[in-house]
A = this chain, B = another copy of it.
Amino acid sequence: MDSPLIAAVRRFNRTVTQRVGALDDEYMARGRPLAQARLLWEIGPGGAEVAALRVRLGLDSGYLSRLLRTLESDGLVTVGPAEQAGDQRVRTAVLTAAGRAEWAELDKRSDELAWSILAPLTEARRERLVAAMAEVERLLVASMVVIEPCPPGDPRARACVRAYARDVGRRFDDGFDPALSNPVRDEELVPPAGVFLLATLNAEPVGCGAVKLHPGAPAEIKRVWVSDTVRGLGIGRRMLGELERYAAERGWTTVRLDTNRNLTEAIAMYRAAGYREVEPYNTEPYAHHWFAKDLAPVGP
């Protein structure tokens, strides 16, 4: 641990989260219980599914239901069946006219709070504050991304793999058809055969990566993808590192991967991470470059 850095973070936590946080709550609440105000805010003018609200606010299912009933009886919200008429169990909360008015008020107050922070400063200091805030926010987001193993069949994992296919499809010279690519079966990405890692930000999937631990052969990295909402924050690099660590801890001493010539940033990242280009080791039709890296042995 690096103590001057830690001391600086602690000072920041104290000043900012305590003072600004308290102000924020006060502005938000407007006499109403804070949980209700937050819920109203989170529903928003476009409405939201109950399940999504539960995740976003991190609330108990029963508690959320009760909060919704309260807002309903205050005439601010109506909860009805999902809009798209798919799953009939899913319910959607929508703001009434009164609810939208209340939401607009919260929006206005949120603006006012922000302005009350900027107003006392000179033009130049405002610019500096905002620039520094943006930097802090970006880097905090980077540090809030969690990378964890996840079953490849999990809906969030599936969503990432679909997003991966869509993204690379746009980049490859003639699109990407998973059926033509060398197949990756789910069982290969479940321990002990391999692992699928999911990167999440506030429980939302924002990236993935997988490694196959081929017995008696180098481990193989597949499906490294990072959502463009968090690109440029070093998540790809971290994902790569986690996958390498997973393989190294289980005794593999080499990892390799293949990639397409159009994914130039990915190629640059592999090189920067210590990968060297090697001869083709498979017949993946979409691949133009093959890379390998030797891993330092690690205790499990």
Residue in chain B with minimal CB distance to A110: B10
Is A59 an interface position by the 8 A CB rule?
Answer: no
- B-contact 0/1 string along A219-261, CB 8 Å cutoff: 0000000000000011001100000000000000000000000
Chain B positions within 8 Å of A115 at CB level: 1, 6
Chain B positions within 8 Å of A13 at CB level: 20, 24, 110, 113-114
Interface 9-mer from A70-78, A129-137, A167-175: A129-137
- Minimum CB–CB distance for A21 against chain B, Å: 4
- Minimum CB–CB distance for A209 against chain B, Å: 15
Q: Count chain A residues whose beta carbon lies closer than 8 angstroms to a beta carbon of B.
A: 54
Please judge, given known A-B contacts A6-B118, A111-B6, A121-B142, whether A11 and B137 are in contact too, CB under 8 Å: yes
* Interchain CB contact under 8 A, B139 and A129: yes
Residue in chain B with minimal CB distance to A114: B9
- B-contact 0/1 string along A114-151, CB 8 Å cutoff: 11011111100111111011111101111111000000
With A and B bound together, what is the CA distance between A238 and B119 in angstroms? 11
Is A268 an interface position by the 8 A CB rule?
Answer: no
Q: Please tell me how many copies of the chain the complex holds.
A: 2
Quick one: which of A1-24 are within 8 Å of B by CB?
1-2, 5-13, 15-21, 24
Please judge, given known A-B contacts A120-B143, A136-B16, A143-B118, whether A111 and B8 are in contact too, CB under 8 Å: no
Please judge, given known A-B contacts A121-B234, A238-B120, whether A135 and B137 are in contact too, CB under 8 Å: no
* Interchain CB contact under 8 A, A120 and B132: no
Residues of A near any B CB (own CB < 8 A): 1-2, 5-13, 15-21, 24, 110-111, 113-115, 117-122, 125-130, 132-137, 139-145, 202, 233-234, 237-238
Contacts A1-B115, A9-B114, A11-B133 given; 12 further ones with Cβ under 8 A? Answer: A1-B111, A9-B117, A12-B134, A16-B133, A16-B136, A17-B17, A17-B24, A19-B202, A118-B143, A121-B234, A125-B234, A132-B135
